[in-house]
Amino acid sequence: MSIEATEERHALGHRMKRKEDPRFLQGQGRYVDDIAMPGMLFAAIARSPYPHATIKNIDISEAMKVPGVKAVITGKDLEAAGLGWLPTFHGYDKQMVLAIGKVLFQYQEVAAVFAETRGAAEDGAEAVQVEYEPLPVVADPFTSRKDEVILRPDREQKTNHIYHWEVGDKDGTARALESSAKRVSQRIWFQRCHPAPLEPCGCVAHFDAMGRLQFYVTSQAPHVYRTALALVTGIPEDKIHVVSPDIGGGFGNKVPVYPGYVCAIVGALKLGRPVKWIETRTENLTSTGFARDYHMDVELGADRNGRLTALRVSTAADHGAFDAAADPTKYPAGMFGVVTGSYDIPVAHAEVDAYFTNKAPGGIAYRCSFRVTEASYAIERAMDVLADELGLDAVELRRRNFIKKEQFPYPSALGFTYDSGDYHQTLDKALEMIGYQDLLKEQAEKRARGELMGIGISTFTEVVGAGPSKHFDILGIKMFDSAEIRIHPTGAGFVRAGTKSQGQGHETTWAQIVAEELGLDPQTIMVEEGDTDTAPYGLGTYASRSTPVAGAAIAVAARRVREKARKIAAHLLEVGEADVEWKDYKFQVKGVPAKTVTMKEVAFAAYTNPGPNEPGLEATNYYDPPNMTFPYGTYIAVVDIDRETGEVKVRRFLAVDDCGTVINPLVVEGQIHGGLTEGFAIAFMQEIQYDRDGNNLNTNFTDYLVPTSLETPHWETGNTVTPSPHHPIGAKGVGESPNVGSPAAFVNAVVDALAPLGVRHIEMPVTREKVWRAIQGGNVA
Amino acid sequence: MNLQYNGQEQIPADPATVWTFVKDPDQVGHCLPDLLELTVHDATHFDAVVRVGVGPVRGKFKFKFELQPDEAARRMNMKIAGGGFGSAVDLTAGAEILPAADAGKTILNWNGTAVMRGPVAAVGGRVLDAQAQKVIAQTFGNVRERLTA
């Protein structure tokens, strides 16, 4: 079943095919690595095999002898130029560009080599001789917090503890838990994983004849890059032009600024030639922004009727060598406060303590709003643990505790104001679509025969669309977004936005918003993003913020265009402006339906016959959202487990989403399919593992798995529509919901299948080995 | 990744000859399998470049050797550090020279600990043990061959 198209609308709600797809499907996308410039050099980076070691000496002489090598730079060179360290995005820490004095994680950047060919650059990097003196390795946050080895002596505070963050009523929660009739607690680890976009990160840096930096880069936030580069390098911001061309997937991985980018710029400046740096798959997996790595102790209290009384979550976060988590400044643990989920919990407390370890830095939001997937997984897993304890059906427990639709706007115990929702309706629709009662019957029969069948449910709520300027900023820049619309004389036009599509379909959906608001053909609205010389300033695309923020900016800008157009329409219709109304996608004289002008006619007049009005038809808007949006859904997984091998087969998976107004059902379904596939990968396959010596064990696609069509289950989708009351078109954003909501559904299904064997929890990734051990009665948590 | 090995080899030469042999960097160096280059710096230090293939990790690895002979105990300790292709290998090894029951022959009691870091541990981890066993066997094979030649 697919999301229904809304026929009565002009452009919104239509299953328009993606305008960008012909380009991508014919191999005509233009990515950073497609860029070639005369005289272009290539950069490669020498990396540390040691997770923690003092650098005793770096000898570049052999590297300089490699034919084609033009220069080698080290951390000391950068330090001398004042470029030794980069600020991390939320501004509380800094990160070495190239190692200075010591290395802190395996595959850390140590030297950059510039050469005529990529091969020569790689050979040069291999020839850089580094003498290391190994230091003790700290490979987990629990060892780190003992402070026996201080990893970051460069910091003022001589501790591995980065921050303590908490929200909620600590004492009240403790009292409520104490007096609850039922209490459950569960340690839940959301493993370290990696977004692994198929296109790795890269850039081309070039100083043009005017001395202006032309910087082509795989960035989800090109404007922020421009400002960050100006701040770090001292190059005036007008002398920096950042372009994000087509991007082959980002998922949060392309939000941070990486050392390779700085090295390429320095190389281009030093050598006076363009420099390209494209990382390898291994470099991407081992050194760029990872996700999750939250160890969460979750406690839920309930009364005898299964009504929740309190929630407490205490988390140890592994941030790696630098605190490079891409979170808004005031939210070091992101939106983790949404851990109360879809439930009316009277009192709650959440705290996060983050620690340095000898692992790659990061903590980016892998296809989710900041730390929302961790939060969602914690509460949805804990709800099943509680249902098990209460002997209550997991669906019934959720139903009893949902925030009711009349409670919206709902102030959560941890400080969010949920905008809208009808959780019962969405749940009921999902149960009906999947045939829940029949599945329960089938399961009972199979259990009687000793077969392992599981039904897993996840009724998640996200918080996306960062965000209101009073709360949200990155490097001090408020998290608004922007749009500029220009309508040409023939009624075609373009929209530019501060966002940057990495596969989300902005070229289609942005055009549909403009077309809807102005009664124009979406096929003739061109969308342009990613060029800081032309697009208005925006904070970029991540955390499901594009539609909630930039989508709103586009709608508001379009309405401004319409207001201007109304004046011209009044001139054309020879009536006063107050007598003109916008109806059925046309301007008409109030009460005279025969007297109309179309937007196309108005557009022509704007340049040929504007009357007393200023010529032209364009508008800009910078949109500061009044609140976040709260998409939600009910996901149901059905699994069968082979007792002999531990193999889990996902027989069915249904996602019923409510993302508010649906701009394009086809694009929404595509987003859901992609997100579910990534959620499936996280649940069953993906983990960046480190051994206790700090070796990264998942450095390529043989060891870090990305599902193909062979492994991927068939996805069933459905939807309900509860518009956001504060968004101009009622949209909430959807790209990340499936990745946020699905891991819990998968794991809940596996645990449900294994429940007759006494299994209460199993850690992701749920591999065959873990399931097999659980069946054998082994420890799998 | 840590690997630990130990074993006993019978060498068809007398202990004095074997002791002289293991103290000679040039001799020891040439026992390394797939040796490409050997540079002897002094009586206890030499560098070696060897061809390494551990699963998909293949290429030249460079190692620095330091011999630490204990004359009284006739025990040779060795520190080896090096690597290649983004990997680092640190080894410590020891060998004790003892007379065998058969006159004119020697027992070599040896042990070694290797710490592997980087791709050689991550990618090559699955086949590392088999590869290490092979290198050890080839090394002692070369020792026997050179002493009996």
Look at residue A7 and tell me whether its pLDDT is greater than 50: no
Taking the mean position of all CA atoms in its chain, how far away is CA A746? 20
Please tell me whether residue A662 adopts helix, strand or coil conformation. coil
Look at residue B25 and tell me whether its pLDDT is greater than 90: yes
Task: Say how far apart CA A1 and CA A384 lie, in whole Å.
Answer: 28
Look at residue A6 and tell me whether its pLDDT is greater than 60: no
Look at residue A350 and tell me whether its pLDDT is greater than 60: yes
> Could you tell me which residues of chain B have a Cβ less than 8 Å from any Cβ in chain A?
1-2, 59, 83-88, 90, 115-119, 121-123, 125
Distance from CA of B148 to the nearest CA of A (A): 38
Task: Say how far apart CA A86 and CA A324 lie, in whole Å.
Answer: 10
Is A304 a catalytic site residue?
no
Mean pLDDT check: name the lowest of A3-17, A106-120, A488-502, A701-715.
Answer: A3-17
pLDDT, mean over chain A: 96
DSSP string across B103-135? TT-EEEEEEEEEEEESHHHHTTHHHHHHHHHHH
CB A696, CB A360: distance < 8 Å: yes
Task: Say how far apart CA A58 and CA A100 lie, in whole Å.
Answer: 11
Write out pLDDT tens, residues A232-263. 889 999 999 999 999 999 999 999 999 999 99
Give the chain B residue whose CA is nearest to the CA of A126.
Answer: B85
Write out pLDDT tens, residues A131-144. 999 999 999 999 99
**Which residues of chain A lie closer than 8 angstroms to B115, CB-CB?**
693
Q: Which of A282, A693, A699 sits opposite B1 (nearest CB)?
A: A693
Structure tokens at A463: 């918080």
Of A47, A367, A496, A545, the active-site residue reads: A367
Write out pLDDT tens, residues A78-100. 999 999 999 887 778 999 999 99
Mean pLDDT check: name the lowest of A39-53, A117-131, A663-677, B113-127.
Answer: B113-127
Domain architecture of chain B: domains with CATH: 2-148 (3.30.530.20)
The dihedrals phi and psi of A296, each to the nearest 5 degrees, come to -115, 125
CB A335, CB A401: distance < 8 Å: no
Look at residue B27 and tell me whether its pLDDT is greater than 90: yes
Task: Say how far apart CA A436 and CA B39 lie, in whole Å.
Answer: 74
Q: Which of B2, B87, B125 sits opposite A49 (nearest CB)?
A: B87
Structure tokens at B142: 């070369």
Write out pLDDT tens, residues A473-508. 988 899 999 999 999 999 999 999 999 999 999 999
CB A516, CB A696: distance < 8 Å: no
Mutate to test the interface with A, among B64, B117, B120 (most CBs of A within 10 A): B117
> Could you tell me which residues of chain A have a Cβ less than 8 Å from any Cβ in chain B?
47, 49-51, 106-107, 126, 132, 134, 282, 691, 693-700, 702-703
Structure tokens at A665: 């059902």
A438 Cβ neighbours under 8 A, 6+ residues apart: none
Q: Is A153 exposed, middle or buried (0-12, 13-18, 19+ CB in 10 A)?
A: exposed
Top-confidence range, A635-644, B48-57, B87-96: A635-644
Is A736 a catalytic site residue?
yes
Look at residue A726 and tell me whether its pLDDT is greater than 60: yes
Distance from CA of B120 to the nearest CA of A (A): 10
Question: How many A×B Cβ pairs under 8 Å?
Answer: 47
**Which residues of chain B lie closer than 8 angstroms to A51, CB-CB?**
117
Task: Say how far apart CA A530 and CA A245 lie, in whole Å.
Answer: 7
Mutate to test the interface with B, among A695, A697, A704 (most CBs of B within 10 A): A695
Closest of A534, A548, A483, A469 to residue A226, by C-alpha:
A534
What is the pLDDT, as a whole number, of residue A8? 45
Write out pLDDT tens, residues A445-458. 999 999 999 999 99
CB A678, CB A198: distance < 8 Å: no
Domain architecture of chain A: domains with CATH: 21-28+481-623 (3.30.365.10), 35-137+204-284 (3.90.1170.50), 150-194+290-356 (3.30.365.10), 419-464+629-781 (3.30.365.10)
Distance from CA of B62 to the nearest CA of A (A): 10
Give the residue-averaged pLDDT of B105-115.
Answer: 92
Give the chain B residue whose CA is nearest to the CA of A703.
Answer: B123
Give the chain B residue whose CA is nearest to the CA of A124.
Answer: B85
Give the residue-averaged pLDDT of A736-748.
Answer: 97
Write out pLDDT tens, residues A134-178. 999 999 999 999 999 999 999 999 999 999 999 999 999 999 999
Of A106, A108, A186, A220, the active-site residue reads: A220
Is A368 a catalytic site residue?
yes
Task: Say how far apart CA A242 and CA A530 lie, in whole Å.
Answer: 8
State the pTM of this model.
0.95
Mutate to test the interface with B, among A62, A106, A687 (most CBs of B within 10 A): A106
What is the pLDDT, as a whole number, of residue A2? 54
The dihedrals phi and psi of A583, each to the nearest 5 degrees, come to -145, 135
Which of A594-607 are b and which e, b meaning 16 or more Cβ less than 10 Å from the residue's Cβ? Answer: eebbbbbbbbbbbe
DSSP string across chain B? -EEEEEEEEEESS-HHHHHHHHT-HHHHHTTSTTEEEEEE-SSSEEEEEEEEEETTEEEEEEEEEEEEEETTTTEEEEEEEEEETTEEEEEEEEEEEEE-SSTT-EEEEEEEEEEEESHHHHTTHHHHHHHHHHHHHHHHHHHHHHHH-
Query: Prior bond to A87 cis, omega within 30?
Result: no
Query: Prior bond to A467 cis, omega within 30?
Result: yes
Is A220 a catalytic site residue?
yes
- What letter represents residue A267's amino acid? G
What is the percentage of chain B residues whose pLDDT exceeds 70? 98
Q: The tokens 């004289």 sit on which residue?
A: A589
Per the CB < 8 Å rule, is B121 touching A703? no
Distance from CA of A126 to the nearest CA of B (A): 6
Distance from CA of A115 to the nearest CA of B (A): 18
